[in-house]
Amino acid sequence: MRKISATLWHRLGVRPPALLLCAVALSAMAFGGLTATVAQAGELASASLVLQWQPQAQFAGFYVAEAKGFYREAGVDLTLIPGGQDVVASKLLAKGRAQFATMFLATGIERRAEGLPVVDLAQLVQRSALMLITRKDSGIREPKDLDGKRVGLWDNEFQLQPRALFQRLGIHPKIISQSSTLGLFLRGGVDAASGMWYNEYHTLLASGLDPEDLRVFFYRDLGLNFPEDGIYTLENTLATNPALCRAVVTASLRGWEYAFAHPEEALGIVLGRMRAAHVPVSRAHQRFMLARMRDVMLPAKPGDPALGTLERADYEHVAQTLTAQRFIKKAPPFEQFSVGRDFLAGGAQ
């Protein structure tokens, strides 16, 4: 299925309607064969998947898969658990409160190195969207100018890339805990703020700043292209119920393909989830976010990884960086960390 998806999305640069329908149809065909292996005699297998943050278009594919019934068609009664500042996805996974979780690749490697037996079932985001944002009038023209400056970083699992960058450059910024808003940056409380291309950057533009007012440093342009969101489970879950794992992943990928093929319908589903969670809603902002998620998830050129694929080279780059910067003592072998390309087809794990 992954090879089919990659080919389809490469062709979809012009988005002809027939191919859009074909993409969904082929996904459904590949997906349908899993139902009987998960849900015997019409019973649904219950499972939970915890997301990294509150409802927004960053997770559109999951919400679409739920709303369109893709999980249930696969024989899974899946509960989506929203994340937040006080919700650490890997902890819920470790405590058994969720069978699946989304995490950044660097976080997954770090947790595995610490002893939590997580397995990457599908790598969704292939190109890092994480950035540091400064004002052009701040005097910060390159990353090394951050030395001694006040830099806002999110807590928990989002500090690996920034700290790796600071260590590599030999600089010592003053780390300020960054909340879920950019108020501190807008008031001049920090010289640089953390942001995601699909979220905080657009929020600043919506607040009245122009692109010309800002200078951004993408980590992917600084030798730290760490692929981000992936779907994870524990080794025991994979060993005891591979059909469940396969069904959840395949339905999720089907949801993402549908979301990218039908963005306005997907936005409606996302906005509904946001309203239900009492999260502030802006269709324009979520539209920007979904478009940027497409940019960082789908192949940008022939030969790029297909949706859901973790490339060994990407894994080794992140693992080697974390080891060199002494965030971890030893990286787990790639074969133990990733299920491999044949997983969705029902082949060897």
The confidence score (pLDDT) of residue 316 equals 97
Residue-level pLDDT at 286: 97
Encode pLDDT of 284-335 as tens digits: 999 999 999 999 999 988 888 899 999 999 999 999 999 998 889 999 999 9
Q: Which residues have CB under 8 Å from 152's CB, separation 6+?
A: 176, 177, 178, 184, 185, 190, 192, 193, 194
Q: Give the per-residue pLDDT at 22.
A: 38
pTM score of the predicted model: 0.85
Q: Which amino acid is at 53?
A: W
42 Cβ partners below 8 Å, 6+ apart? none
For β-strands 192-196 and 45-50, DSSP reports them as unpaired
The whole-number pLDDT of residue 39 equals 54
**All domains of the chain in start order, with CATH:** 2-127+227-337 (3.40.190.10), 130-222 (3.40.190.10)
- Among candidates 134, 282, 152, 291, which has minimal Cα distance to 214? 134
Opening angle at CA 255, ends 19 and 300, nearest 5: 60
Report which of 120, 100, 99 is spatially closest to residue 109, judged by C-alpha positions: 120
The helix or strand, by DSSP H or E, that contains position 151, with its residue range, turns out to be strand 150-153
Question: Which tokens belong to 103?
Answer: 């995490």
- Tell which residue, 332, 314, 339, 313, has the closest CA to residue 110: 332
Intervals of the chain under pLDDT 50: 1-37, 41
Contact 151, 190 (CB under 8 A): yes
State the pLDDT at residue 347.
55
Instruction: Report CA 60 to chain centroid distance, whole Å.
Output: 11
- Please state, as a whole number, how many other Cβ atoms lie within 10 Å of the Cβ of residue 197: 22
pLDDT at res. 42: 67
Give the residue from 23, 33, 17 showing the smallest Cα distance to 2: 23
- The stretches of the chain forming alpha helices (DSSP H) are 2-11, 17-32, 35-38, 60-67, 70-73, 89-94, 105-114, 160-169, 183-186, 200-206, 235-240, 242-261, 263-276, 283-297, 312-324, 334-337
Say how far apart CA 161 and CA 304 lie, in whole Å: 22
Residue 38 confidence (pLDDT): 61
**Sign of the CA dihedral running 18, 20, 23, 25:** negative
